[in-house]
Amino acid sequence: MQGISMRNHSGRRRRVLAVAALAALVAAAVVSCVTEPETGRRRLILTSMSQEASLGQQSWTELTQSQPLSRDQVKTAAVQRVGTALSQVVKQSGFEWEFKCFASDEMNAFCLPGGKVGVYEGLFKAFANDAEMAKVGVYEGLFKAFANDAEMAAVVGHEIAHATARHGGERMTYAMAVGLAGLGLNMALDSKASENRELWMAAYAGVTTVGVILPYSRVHEYEADEIGALYMARAGYDPRAAVAFWEKFAASKSGAAVPELLSTHPVDANRVARLKQVMPRALAEYEKAPQRRGLGVVY
């Protein structure tokens, strides 16, 4: 008898909790539907910036322990020079910037939530010779992936924009919603605070693999391009270098080997067209920049 009464009580409590938690989720959704300051896009983010930064820090620690740093002082200095110039124009707080160049042939770069930026050596030497270009289907002449600081600023600015626009948090929120639906409401809403963290960890694991971000959506790519162009312009780099850089990749897409940068940040003709639309605003920012560097150091 007592057992039945306890079960009933537990059932009522569960329903009350479920309603309360649902109400809290709806309230959080209303409060958390925040506007991206540069583009004005409204989006739902249920993670806090400190949660995102702490997950980013965890990935950064794992990554720096497993991935050797570049010994190339020129590349390392370039990553730090360009990264520092860009971080100085970011107005949001809550970022503790670090810039590292990793010894890897991978052609990619990333910025984790909280401001940890990695650039792989592979981005410097990609497309260094005809044979490599032929592999990716580019025959238009010799060029490197990065011809100058401004092109690196385009990539690093784009990566930083993914972080400052909190695309990771937005994707985690989405993954969390999917996870909640999968788990069923009762189980999810009964979870204690410590279990919530595990849910977020699972959601986070869904969007990253040891810090390497899985492909972004088109909306996020366009937004990161737009904000990244503004950042590079404010940091004094000619934003037209971003168009030049992504056009090189758009041209290489027909080839068999797709560089990692394209698999995580897909380029299509629309993306370059959208970036060109942003140019008037970016050039206006460039004109106002306290120090104009043009293309910066040319490699």
Binding site for Zn ion (CB under 5 A): 216, 221, 224, 265
Residue nearest to Zn ion (CB): 265
**Is 284 in contact with 133 (CB distance < 8 Å)?**
no
Shortest Cβ distance from residue 142 to Zn ion (Å)?
26
Between CA 215 and CA 273 the distance in angstroms is 20
Closer residue to Zn ion (CB): 46 or 224: 224
**Is 113 in contact with 203 (CB distance < 8 Å)?**
no
* DSSP secondary structure of 135-196: HTT--S----S-SBHHHHHHHHHHHHHHHHTTHHHHHHHHHHHHHHHHH-HHHHHT--HHHH
Closer residue to Zn ion (CB): 46 or 160: 160
Shortest Cβ distance from residue 165 to Zn ion (Å)?
10
Residue 99 dihedral angles phi and psi, to the nearest 5°: -130, 120
Shortest Cβ distance from residue 191 to Zn ion (Å)?
32
Shortest Cβ distance from residue 213 to Zn ion (Å)?
8
**Is 86 in contact with 153 (CB distance < 8 Å)?**
yes
Closer residue to Zn ion (CB): 189 or 204: 204
Closer residue to Zn ion (CB): 172 or 224: 224
Closer residue to Zn ion (CB): 124 or 216: 216
Written as six digits, the tokens of 105 are 């042939």
Shortest Cβ distance from residue 184 to Zn ion (Å)?
34
Distances (CA, A) of 19 to 28, 186, 189: 14, 10, 9
> Apex CA 162: angle with CA 275 and CA 102, to 5°?
105
What DSSP character marks residue 298?
B
Shortest Cβ distance from residue 161 to Zn ion (Å)?
8
Closer residue to Zn ion (CB): 189 or 216: 216
